[in-house]
Amino acid sequence: MVNMAEALVRLQTLAGSPTVSTLAAAFREAGHELALVGGPVRDAMLDRGTNDLDFTTDARPDEILRIVTPVSTAQWDIGREFGTIGARIAGETVEITTYRADEYDGATRKPVVAFGDSLEGDLVRRDFTVNAMALRLPEVTLVDPSGGVEDLIGGVLRTPIDPDVSFGDDPLRMLRAARFAGQLGFSVHDDARGAMRDRAATLDIVSAERIQGELTKLLSTDAPRAGIRLLVDTGLADRFLPEIPALRLEIDEHHHHKDVYEHSLTVLDQAIGYEKSRHPGEAPDVTLRLAALLHDIGKPATKRTEAGGVTFYHHDIVGAKLAKKRLGALRYDSDTIRDVARLVELHLRFFGYTEAAWSDSAVRRYVRDAGPLLERLHMLTRADVTTRNKRKADRLGFAYDDLEERIATLREQEEMDSVRPDLDGNRIQEVLGVPPGRVVGEAYRFLLEVRLDEGPLPPEEAERRLLAWWADRSE
């Protein structure tokens, strides 16, 4: 609940900060209006941390640059064509944009940039009422033409104008609704939700890069579950991430399998919990969160009904391929695509550990296969336990505790993070008397398997094994 008296005090404090007060004085002296706008105002009222300072003004870009240059240590005009000038003032980065009155053609999300002449006119063209509030400076007057304060108090996301028109102007705003639902914990007004359903297909005009950016921001929030539900319920997810709504598999009357969609959302929640407990205060691990959300997307394609119930054989392998394809279509970078697909592929590997004690060799292979993703695999695997059966959950938890302890012990004994054969390529060539080539690679892999199976060997024993392998191979 927003306490308005306290919120106004926070706004006064924000307005009195060195950066804001310096900028406000400079624009007043130049005879121009200035207002702090959007997210900083909203977050100050909610008592959330304010990271970005966005301003709007009646001054045109050239005039903005002239005003900020004397009071800033750096300036950039990369957004000049859209009316935006950036600057560094009192150690903070700010962006100042000329009032806008854009028009959209309905065929693309790129507006025909038009500068406006009033703060109120600029505000009503914004995405949601809670982002359409401004703090006029330097007098510190709250400007709220669309009822943003009431919606902030009510925890509601509503568009300043008809949502059908707003989302028609810029379909990306529908994804922003999902992001803010996760970030702020707000509900979406029924009118806006209905318009999202009606206009879901218009998302197709938005570039994959823009969609990826909003998905990443949603997954970076503390509680993305509500936003993902909104995307699925309105049909938006079908346009760019259809594998998630496809998880809503029909459950048979005997409940032979759990609700995969709900399970996946719970795994995402739990993965975020493990991430925060292990790395408090660090940036969100989007790779882990993508893997948690997508880890079971291979199940719809592999679902089989058999006498004993429902099976999903090889859904880990199928899911890894689907994840790679989908993330590629969303223009994620190659490292993220590779790592998420690998985590999806490996997410079932641990469950064999609960069925029979692994040998040291099996533990070494688990570590080798996970490579630098081992800790993420730890968190994903633990998060994948969503059973309500406490005995089963405890058994899995104890088993994974044991596995992590064994990994730590072997790592200390054998430097497992850099497991290599006991002989390098040069020594293999010397022992076998062969030049560089395919044979050396095969010998290297043979010795690596021996190393994984048995641990470190003395050099003379490794050479004896190599010569025996070579003799058998030559027969």
In the predicted model, what is the mean pLDDT of residues 445-464?
Answer: 84
- Tell me the per-residue pLDDT of 59-107, one tens digit each, with 9 for 90 and over: 999 999 999 999 999 999 878 888 899 999 999 999 999 998 766 665 6
Does one domain contain both 8 and 90?
yes
In sign, the C-alpha dihedral spanning 320, 324, 325, 327 is: positive
pLDDT greater than 60 at residue 414? no
In the predicted model, what is the mean pLDDT of residues 268-272?
Answer: 97
Does one domain contain both 91 and 187?
no
pLDDT score for 150: 96
Q: 445 lies in a domain?
A: yes
Does one domain contain both 165 and 180?
yes
Comparing 28 with 117, the larger pLDDT belongs to 28
The encoded tokens of residue 246 equal 């496809």
The span from the CA of 350 to the CA of 180, in Å, is 35
pLDDT score for 259: 86
Does one domain contain both 227 and 316?
no
pLDDT greater than 70 at residue 272? yes
Least confident of 197-201, 225-229, 301-305, 448-452: 448-452
Q: Ranked by mean pLDDT, which of 232-246, 308-322, 426-440 comes out on top?
A: 232-246
- Which CATH number do you get for residue 28? 3.30.460.10
* Domain endpoint, select from 389, 418, 447: 418
Least confident of 57-61, 249-253, 456-460: 249-253
Does one domain contain both 121 and 1?
yes
Does one domain contain both 386 and 468?
no
The encoded tokens of residue 279 equal 């790395």
Does one domain contain both 227 and 162?
yes
In the predicted model, what is the mean pLDDT of residues 165-183?
Answer: 95
Q: 100 lies in a domain?
A: yes
Comparing 339 with 394, the larger pLDDT belongs to 339
pLDDT score for 369: 87
Comparing 51 with 168, the larger pLDDT belongs to 168
Does one domain contain both 53 and 111?
yes
Band of residue 254 on the pLDDT scale cut at 50, 70, 90: very low
The span from the CA of 346 to the CA of 295, in Å, is 9
- Which CATH number do you get for residue 200? 1.10.110.30
CB neighbours of residue 81 within 10 Å: 9
Domain of 431?
Answer: 425-474
The span from the CA of 96 to the CA of 254, in Å, is 60
Q: With contact defined as beta carbons under 8 Å apart, do 23 and 89 qualify? A: yes
The span from the CA of 423 to the CA of 414, in Å, is 15
Q: With contact defined as beta carbons under 8 Å apart, do 332 and 211 qualify? A: no
- Residue found by looking up tokens 């703090």 in the block: 135
pLDDT score for 129: 97
- Tell me the per-residue pLDDT of 207-246, one tens digit each, with 9 for 90 and over: 999 999 999 999 999 999 999 999 999 999 999 999 999 9
Q: 364 lies in a domain?
A: yes
Is this structure's pTM higher than 0.85?
Answer: no
Does one domain contain both 280 and 194?
no
Comparing 22 with 455, the larger pLDDT belongs to 22
In the predicted model, what is the mean pLDDT of residues 415-421?
Answer: 63
Band of residue 253 on the pLDDT scale cut at 50, 70, 90: very low
Q: 269 lies in a domain?
A: no
pLDDT score for 252: 45
Q: With contact defined as beta carbons under 8 Å apart, do 65 and 154 qualify? A: no
Comparing 238 with 450, the larger pLDDT belongs to 238
In the predicted model, what is the mean pLDDT of residues 269-289?
Answer: 96
pLDDT greater than 60 at residue 255? no
In the predicted model, what is the mean pLDDT of residues 188-198?
Answer: 97
Q: 126 lies in a domain?
A: yes
Does one domain contain both 313 and 401?
yes
Q: 253 lies in a domain?
A: no
pLDDT score for 251: 55
Based on the structure, what is the number of domains in the chain?
Answer: 4
Does one domain contain both 434 and 409?
no
Does one domain contain both 87 and 25?
yes
Q: 248 lies in a domain?
A: no
Q: What are the backbone angles phi and psi of residue 50, rounded to the nearest 5°? A: -105, 115
Q: 255 lies in a domain?
A: no
Comparing 370 with 338, the larger pLDDT belongs to 338
Band of residue 409 on the pLDDT scale cut at 50, 70, 90: confident
Mean pLDDT of the chain: 89
